[in-house]
């Protein structure tokens, strides 16, 4: 749990806050193309919102979590993003699955740690 909980910021302006109670808030993150209406899939807009997270490892990947949130759209109504941790424990770097092979990654920051653990 300590590996996940905290504030994670990306080198492209994204921010994700995982809390111990399984809630997550995110700001300015990339979306999986299947989280947006079909006409936006070639260039999905960045997203902000709130949701829930659970541990889930994708086959052939490092440990990670699934983030699920309502899209606010008619189709699809909900979306899942996958955060995958890299490097040795304790994990301090992760990426979102849709960014795999890209240049965006998230690093754990010390800010907000006290608030996250409440």
Tens-of-pLDDT digits for all 118 residues of the chain?
A: 677 899 999 999 999 999 999 999 999 998 888 888 788 788 878 889 999 999 998 777 778 899 999 877 776 788 889 999 888 888 788 989 887 767 899 999 976 554 454 4
Q: Tell me, what's the pLDDT at 68?
A: 93
Tokens of 106: 């998230």
Q: Tell me, what's the pLDDT at 20?
A: 93
The pTM of this model reads 0.84
Q: Tell me, what's the pLDDT at 114?
A: 44
**Residue 17 in 3-state DSSP?**
strand
Share in percent of the chain as helix, strand, coil (round to 5): 10, 40, 45
Q: Tell me, what's the pLDDT at 118?
A: 44
Q: Tell me, what's the pLDDT at 25?
A: 96
Q: Are 81 and 35 in contact (CB under 8 A)?
A: yes
Q: Tell me, what's the pLDDT at 40?
A: 79
**How many other CB atoms are there within 10 angstroms of residue 76's CB atom?**
14
Q: Are 18 and 53 in contact (CB under 8 A)?
A: yes
Q: Residue 29: enclosing H or E segment and its boundaries?
A: strand 23-29
């Amino acid at each position: 749990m300590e590996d996940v909980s905290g504030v994670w910021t990306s080198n492209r302006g994204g921010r994700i806050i995982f809390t111990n109670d399984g809630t997550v808030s995110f700001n300015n993150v990339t979306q999986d193309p299947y989280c947006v209406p079909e006409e936006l899939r070639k260039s999905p807009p960045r997203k902000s919102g709130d949701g829930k997270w659970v541990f889930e490892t994708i086959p052939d990947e490092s440990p990670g979590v699934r983030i699920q949130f309502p899209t606010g759209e008619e189709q699809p109504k909900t979306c899942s993003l996958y955060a995958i941790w890299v490097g040795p424990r304790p994990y301090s770097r992760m990426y979102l699955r849709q960014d795999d092979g890209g240049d965006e990654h998230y690093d754990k920051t010390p800010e907000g740690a006290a608030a996250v653990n409440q």
